[in-house]
Amino acid sequence: GAVVSQHPSWVICKSGTSVKIECRSLDFQATTMFWYRQFPKQSLMLMATSNEGSKATYEQGVEKDKFLINHASLTLSTLTVTSAHPEDSSFYICSATGGNTEAFFGQGTRLTVV
């Protein structure tokens, strides 16, 4: 199957700093990417949908100014957690899909804000 790579796989940052997470489709062009967040012992919650070259669509309750999403190319989307706080500590997962393909998921990024 297709490969979606996330980087980094884990990151620890200080409160108040910003963290960027990358999601890359390695062998296909991802017209749409999705970002999910998962708190411990909970399911994956969809945060936003991003289409290449356009602004991301955020789910209700997700702050777009805090979670900046950029999908500038067909193989890369980035999620930047701005002014991170301990409550932002979570597992972030992206998925990517091409025009006529199913969605493939990255391995996830564990963010810990101290």
Partner 1 sequence: SQQGEEDPQALSIQEGENATMNCSYKTSINNLQWYRQNSGRGLVHLILIRSNEREKHSGRLRVTLDTSKKSSSLLITASRAADTASYFCAPGGTGGFKTIFGAGTRLFVKA
Q: Which residues bind partner 1 (CB under 8 A)?
A: 1, 6, 31-32, 34, 36, 40, 42-46, 49, 51, 91, 93, 95, 97-108, 110
Distance in angstroms (rounded) separating the CA atoms of residues 15 and 45: 23
Q: Compute the least distance from the CB of residue 60 to partner 1, in Å.
A: 12
Place of tokens 């391995």: 107
> Is the sign of the CA dihedral 19, 21, 9, 111 positive or negative?
positive
Q: Compute the least distance from the CB of residue 48 to partner 1, in Å.
A: 10
Cβ nearer to partner 1, comparing 9 with 17: 9
Cβ nearer to partner 1, comparing 22 with 98: 98
Run of H or E including 6: strand 4-7
Q: Which of 53, 45, 91, 48 is nearest to 73 (CA)?
A: 53
Q: Compute the least distance from the CB of residue 59 to partner 1, in Å.
A: 9
